[in-house]
Amino acid sequence: MSIVHYLISQGYKTYRWSKNGYIPCDNNFDFSSMREGGLDVRLVKDDSQFVYGLNEKNKPPTLIHPRPFNLQSDNEMNTYLRENTIEDIYKELLSKSRIK
């Protein structure tokens, strides 16, 4: 299960950001710089927001925000995602009040 699927199962809704605000998203894994808001997906629930998508050049989509333990690069984040369960990552972010 990807982090996007997990967050959706936790009640998060997917949106893309545009100059007019949030637009509901129907394809969570279609990223393109050719359309507005196409580089990432915003997963929103109440006052919590996760951002998943393209961040660094020539890297696959990953969790952009928030990131645990001040992980800076996409390589670090992807390694962290591989080595930990999504449930544990989510709990870590919640416990540190990093989701706002």
pLDDT digits (tens, 9 = 90+) for 9-64: 999 999 999 899 999 998 989 998 888 889 999 999 998 899 999 999 999 999 99
Examine residue 100 and state whether it is found in any structural domain, yes or no: no
pLDDT at 25: 92
Decide: pTM greater than 0.85: yes
Categorize the per-residue pLDDT at 100 as very low, low, confident or very high, splitting at 50, 70 and 90: very low
How many distinct structural domains can be found in the chain? 1
Examine residue 31 and state whether it is found in any structural domain, yes or no: yes
pLDDT at 81: 94
What distance in Å separates the CA atoms of residue 23 and residue 83, rounded to the nearest whole number?
33
Q: What does each C-alpha distance from 71 to 7, 67, 75 come to in angstroms?
A: 20, 6, 9
Examine residue 7 and state whether it is found in any structural domain, yes or no: yes
For 79, the domain range is: 3-95
